[in-house]
Each structure stands twice: as C-alpha cells, then as structure tokens.
Amino acid sequence: MTEVRGPLEGLVVADFTRVLAGPYCTMLLADLGATVIKVEGPAGDETRNWTPPVRDGEATYYLSVNRGKRAITLDLDSPDDLATAQAIAARADVMMQNFKPGSLSKFGLDYDAVHEANPGVVYVSITGFGAASALPGYDVLAQAVSGLMSVTGDPGGEPTKAGVAIVDVVTGLHAGLGALAALRHRDVTGEGQHVEVNLLSSALSALVNQSGAYALAGVVPQRMGNDHPSIFPYGPFPTADGDLVLAIGNDMQFGALCRTIGVPDAAADARFARAADRNRHRDELRPVLVSALAERSAAEWAGVLGAVNVPCAPILGMDDAFRWAEGAGLDPVVTAGGVPGIRNPVSFSQTPPAYPLAPPAPDADRAWVEEFLARG
C-alpha cells in the first residue's frame, strides 16, 4: 500500500477527468508522488477506445496519459457507487473534474457540496469555454475559436489545426499550476478553494505574441506558413537535399550565418543588417540564403553552422526525434509497470519523478480504493 516517494508524496488526487487535459495533468502529479484515484463511469474513459494505434490491444492514446494511477469504475446513478465517489472526494487534497458545467450538482459532487464535506479541498474544474458556455470542450473547437487555426497554415491556404491537441495539453499544465498554487495557499491558511481553467483562456494565453499583438496593438495576425511575424530568418530553408531550420534571433547570429554560408556581404547590407530590417526585407533576403544553402546538404550545414553557434536543426520524423533526444542524453522513454511512455519533463535534484504503476485497466483497483477509504 506504500506509494513511491516524491515531492508530492502524501497528496491525494481524486481524478474525475477523462480524455486529455485532466488526465495529462493528473499523470504528471502521479509521476511526482501524488496518489491519484482515477474515477471512471461504466463506459470508461473515451480514450480507451480511440484507436489505432494500439499496444497489446489497448489504445496508445489512453496509455500515454494515465500511468501512475489507481482506477475504479463507479456508476453515479447507483447509490452505493455514488457514496464511494463522495467518500473519495471527501478524502482528497485535490479533486479535478471536467464534467459539463453544473452536471455534478445532482450527485453532490459540485464544489459547494465537496467543500462542505472537505473544507480544505482544492477543487479544479476544467471546462471548454468557461462555466457559462454549453459548447463541448473539444480541443479542435478551442483551436478554432481562439484564433490558433487562423494563424496556422500557409498564406492563402486553409486554417490548420496543430498536429497534436496542444490546447488540451496547455490547459492541463495550467490546471496543475493552479492546483499547486491553491495548495500553497492552503498550507498557509488552511483554506481550500475552487480553481477554474478552460481551453479558450488557455489557448489565448498560449498564443502569447500573436494574441498579444491584438491586445496591445490591435494587429490581427495572419497565416504565414513557417515564417515568424517578427523574426527572419526563422524557419525551414531548402538545402541540397532537404530543409534545414534556421532560428536567427539576433544580429550576431545573422553575421555568423552569412560568413559561414559564403555571403558575408549580406550581413553588412543596410537592408539586412538589423533584425527589424531583415524582417521588412525578407523577400529580398530569402533568395540570397536559399542560393547559398543549396551548395550543401542539410546534415552538412547543420554540422558546419552548429560549430559556429548558429542555431539550426533538421526536421525529423518521430523515430529520429527520439534518437536525437537520446543522443542529447535526455533519455525520453521510461517504463511504468512494464509499459513504456514519455519521461516527465521536469527534473529534480532531490525528489525525482517515479513511474511505479502502469496505466490501469478499468476498475483495476477497486479493492485498493476500498481499503484506502476504510483506513480513514
């Protein structure tokens, strides 16, 4: 019954979430030592059925965000199961849920009811578009209405979603940050509180300079493909055998780039010498760089430019990305109960993450949860 030690050892998280934002957040908390009890309805977490791909017959989507948890299946329409759900909430330091706004009230699992039974609880609600909106909280909808899709894709092409449910992921991180901040407040005051996050607000925050351009200057950003609105060169450029990504963030880097690829005069050209000038004259600078980069392969340029500290990188597939991370000493893959997954991205010198439990099968830990509740 002993949980693995970690910076969140002793913290109990009642996880009433499903799909991605909530489960991703609670998995990271579990990695750091929290005891996470995953409560599913009879139909189970939707991602258990989101296939392909699969590993040993289980959806990799589900497996990727649910390690480290204890699972119990509860039908909230059953009085006995509802009592168990309420008991879990009453024991929790953190309760996290992403039900439709207001739908938990009839079960006595809304914030007011849980707070009355458990005054110290940090109750985290994840919604799609805030408590007043009935729009379902799907990531692609948030990408659409936040403006993210409007700035993603080729100029003149279709608005494009990101290649992963990035708004869900960012919202999960915001939920974790909010929960830990509220726990710090509880440490000082003894008071729990209600923490609310939503996909739309998280997306607008994550759009940083793009949303900031509108809020600060009234500028409506447009799709620019792989170009950056404020920096050039910053993105992929063709070489003799494929694209190489350049990330030139200052004038010194630009000078080193020009000298190394054989166009030193470009660094002194008044049109290109300063970052703001390069941005204004990108259409004139681009062919100069493309012509020079055509002389060597992407791999050759990466080696030569890297040696003089010019930021650049190849565009890799997922398989090569893992090999690249391994070569950098990052060891991206860990094993949790025999099931591989992605390492928690946070490192600690004293209390590192641990991965003792595989993603649980439905209702796999009913006996464990019942014993946990019986201990009081």
Query: What is the rounded distance in angstroms from the CA atom of residue 275 to the CA atom of residue 306?
Result: 21
Tokens of 286: 């681009």
Catalytic residue status for 168 = yes
Residue among 83, 77, 98, 79 nearest 15 (CA) = 98
Cβ-contact 53, 25 below 8 angstroms: no
Within 8 A by CB and 6+ apart from 252, the residues are none
Characterize the bridge pairing of strands 122-127 and 94-97.
parallel
Q: Which of 31, 110, 168, 365 is catalytic?
A: 168
Query: Alpha-carbon distance 16 to 85, whole Å?
Result: 9
Distances (CA, A) of 175 to 6, 94, 195, 226, 360: 20, 11, 8, 30, 22
Angstrom distance (rounded) from CA 222 to CA 224: 6
The alpha carbon of 171 is separated from its chain's Cα centroid by a whole number of angstroms, namely: 7
Angle, helices 298-307/251-261, rounded to nearest 10 degrees:
130
Max CA-CA distance within the chain? 78
| Distance separating alpha carbons of residues 45 and 16, to the nearest angstrom | 10
Q: What letter does residue 234 receive in the DSSP assignment?
A: E
Active site residues: 168
